[in-house]
């Protein structure tokens, strides 16, 4: 096994004798065999062990075992005691997930502090199979099928090509001692249930099932790389980015093979799931303008000819304007509030407003427009819903969500940045003008 191990780390350029690493060691059989292989390959490393105290005295015995092994081999040992249960309760996650977060955060911190070249983990081939099947059960898609990488960032997994059987044989042949984790025999964890029951049953169905499954995943991994290349080109050609907004035209989806996968790959980093991706493709193929798909922080809006991805806007707290105020800030826009006599040249720029001061009832209020809001736009006789008014102006959904209105005594005086209300205009009877000037 040592020959195969050395050849593997050489071919994959995983480890280098000229650098030093952090080896995460639990004391289990995988860790102890990997430790033996690292020593025999002349790889320099320090050892890190986490004690969560979840198995009472067993956890302490694991720590003592690793400590003695490190001392025997003159290795620098780092130990860390942590309360995974408390973190799990605080974050409302499983103990296993909490323990993983704690471990990896500490490993990365140590790696940085000690100026080491990466974190060596003892995941092996059976772990890889279990991870892939767990990902399939979770519905993680193409990325999940690819499983764990030999190297990803700081994480290095040099044991991935070796099976549990090979590792056990090596341990017995070389007289390597290890600690048994009694929790590995419990079937109340999904991974253990897979390891102890589901996968062995699957292997019984066909003697070459393991080999065929691994081979299939290797080919799927290669297919995933091809898809990623296709996706990056599609994204570069079709998606327009403007600040926090992204725009995807319908024609990039309609009649495009694999459209759902492309859209899902685009939106997944923003928290969207595959069902939403399918819904978005359907909404583009059978245009449903105005439909919105949401995650916690983002929304994908179906506009007239494109999908608009944008951050959700935070709730806008109404702003009050008093009679004597001279300035105003609405989010990132600043305005000057000027009271002026008639006879001044009228400003017709849509980002500014000139209103009849005496028709206004202070304090004024600025708020987001709401469904059902109506006003009579300047120059018109009949009232119009603001939603229809914005549609007529072909205001995009992304911009529509940011529109604010100026309110005087319950009536809309100005759809800010678009048009004032006819009732608030200056006319022949106006004696004083209220000028709201946008400062660029």
pLDDT digits (tens, 9 = 90+) for 145-178: 778 889 999 999 999 999 999 999 999 999 999 9
Query: 3-class DSSP state for residue 303?
Result: coil
26 is in an annotated binding site: yes
29 is in an annotated binding site: yes
**Residues 120 and 15 sit within 8 Å (Cβ to Cβ):** yes
Residues linked to residue 384 through DSSP beta bridges, in sequence order: 375
Give yes or no for residue 273 having a pLDDT over 70.
Answer: yes
Residues linked to residue 437 through DSSP beta bridges, in sequence order: 336
The token duo for 103 is 């471990």
Number of domains in the chain: 3
DSSP element (H, E) containing 26: none
Which of 259, 279, 311 is a domain's end point? 311
Whether 186 and 243 share a structural domain: no
* 220 domain-assigned: no
pLDDT (average), residues 406-413: 96
Which of 240-244, 263-267, 333-337 has the lowest average pLDDT? Answer: 240-244
CA atoms of 366 and 320, how far apart (whole Å): 6
pLDDT (average), residues 364-383: 93
pLDDT (average), residues 271-295: 89
**Residues 335 and 366 sit within 8 Å (Cβ to Cβ):** no
**Residues 23 and 45 sit within 8 Å (Cβ to Cβ):** yes
pLDDT in the model for residue 217: 84
27 is in an annotated binding site: yes
Whether 49 and 130 share a structural domain: yes
pLDDT (average), residues 241-263: 90
Query: Positive or negative, the Cα torsion across 120, 125, 128, 130?
Result: negative
Give yes or no for residue 144 having a pLDDT over 90.
Answer: no
102 is in an annotated binding site: no
Whether 31 and 76 share a structural domain: yes
Whether 94 and 47 share a structural domain: yes
Give yes or no for residue 332 having a pLDDT over 90.
Answer: no
Whether 404 and 305 share a structural domain: no
Give yes or no for residue 187 having a pLDDT over 90.
Answer: no
Whether 41 and 159 share a structural domain: yes
207 is in an annotated binding site: no
CA dist 199 → 131, 205, 228, 367, 437 (Å): 12, 10, 30, 59, 70
pLDDT in the model for residue 220: 85
Give yes or no for residue 221 having a pLDDT over 70.
Answer: yes
218 band by pLDDT with thresholds 50, 70 and 90: confident
CA atoms of 310 and 112, how far apart (whole Å): 35
pLDDT in the model for residue 184: 65
Whether 285 and 372 share a structural domain: no
Q: Cα torsion for 101, 106, 112, 117, to the nearest 10°?
A: -80
Residues of the chain with pLDDT > 90, as a percent, come to 60
pLDDT in the model for residue 304: 85
pLDDT in the model for residue 343: 76
CA atoms of 139 and 122, how far apart (whole Å): 25
Tell me which residue of 360, 361, 356, 379 sits closest to 429, measured CA to CA: 356
Q: Cα torsion for 196, 198, 204, 210, to the nearest 10°?
A: -90
Residues linked to residue 414 through DSSP beta bridges, in sequence order: 406, 420
What rounded mean pLDDT belongs to the chain? 90
Whether 158 and 21 share a structural domain: yes
Whether 120 and 188 share a structural domain: yes
Q: What are the pLDDT digits (tens) for 348-360? A: 888 999 999 999 9
193 band by pLDDT with thresholds 50, 70 and 90: confident
pLDDT (average), residues 48-52: 92
Tokens 């609405």 locate to 330
pLDDT in the model for residue 315: 73
* 222 domain-assigned: no
Residue 116 structural domain? 2-205
Tokens 């409302």 locate to 92
Whether 6 and 128 share a structural domain: yes
Whether 374 and 280 share a structural domain: no
285 is in an annotated binding site: no
Q: Cα torsion for 78, 72, 29, 152, to the nearest 10°?
A: 40
pLDDT (average), residues 328-346: 87
pLDDT in the model for residue 353: 95
CA atoms of 224 and 258, how far apart (whole Å): 13
Which of 55-64, 148-157, 253-262, 374-383 has the lowest average pLDDT? Answer: 55-64
Whether 185 and 256 share a structural domain: no
**Residues 338 and 347 sit within 8 Å (Cβ to Cβ):** no
* 210 domain-assigned: no
* 194 domain-assigned: yes
* 212 domain-assigned: no
């Amino acid at each position: 096994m040592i020959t195969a191990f050395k050849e593997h780390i050489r071919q994959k350029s995983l480890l280098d004798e000229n650098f030093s690493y952090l080896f995460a060691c639990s004391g289990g059989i995988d860790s102890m065999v990997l430790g033996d292989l690292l020593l025999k390959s002349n790889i320099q490393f320090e050892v890190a062990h986490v004690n969560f105290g979840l198995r009472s005295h067993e956890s302490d015995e694991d720590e003592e075992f690793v400590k003695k092994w490190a001392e025997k081999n003159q290795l620098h040992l780092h130990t860390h005691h942590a309360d995974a249960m408390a973190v799990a309760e605080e974050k409302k996650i499983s103990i296993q997930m909490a323990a993983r977060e704690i471990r990896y955060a500490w490993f990365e911190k140590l790696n940085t502090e000690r100026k080491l070249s990466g974190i060596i983990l003892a995941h092996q081939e059976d772990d890889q199979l279990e991870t892939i099947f767990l990902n399939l059960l979770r519905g993680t898609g193409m990325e999940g099928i690819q499983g764990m990488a030999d190297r990803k960032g700081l994480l290095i997994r040099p044991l991935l090509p070796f099976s549990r059987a090979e590792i056990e044989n090596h341990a017995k042949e070389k007289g390597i001692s290890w600690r048994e984790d009694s929790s590995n025999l419990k079937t109340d964890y999904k991974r253990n249930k897979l390891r102890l029951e589901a996968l062995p049953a699957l292997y019984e169905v066909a003697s070459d099932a393991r080999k065929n499954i691994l081979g299939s995943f290797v080919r799927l991994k290669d297919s995933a790389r091809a898809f990623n290349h296709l996706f990056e080109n599609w994204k570069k050609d079709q998606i327009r980015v403007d600040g926090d907004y992204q725009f995807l035209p319908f024609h990039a989806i309609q009649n495009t093979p694999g459209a759902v996968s492309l859209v899902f790959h685009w939106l997944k980093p923003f928290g969207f799931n595959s069902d939403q991706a399918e819904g978005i493709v359907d909404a583009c193929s059978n245009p449903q303008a105005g439909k919105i798909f949401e995650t916690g922080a983002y929304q994908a809006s179906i506009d007239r000819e494109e999908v608009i991805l944008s951050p959700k806007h935070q709730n806008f707290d109404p702003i009050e304007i008093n009679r004597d105020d001279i300035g105003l800030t609405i989010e990132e826009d600043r305005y000057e509030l000027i009271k002026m006599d008639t006879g001044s040249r009228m400003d017709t720029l849509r980002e500014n407003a000139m209103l009849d001061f005496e028709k206004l009832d202070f304090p004024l209020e600025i708020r987001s427009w709401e469904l059902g809001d109506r006003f009579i736009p300047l120059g018109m006789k009949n009232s119009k819903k603001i939603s229809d008014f914005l549609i007529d102006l072909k205001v995009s959904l992304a911009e529509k969500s940011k529109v604010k209105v100026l309110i005087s005594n319950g009536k809309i005086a100005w759809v800010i940045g678009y048009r004032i209300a006819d009732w608030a205009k200056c006319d022949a009877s106006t004696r004083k003008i209220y000028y709201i000037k946008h400062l660029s």
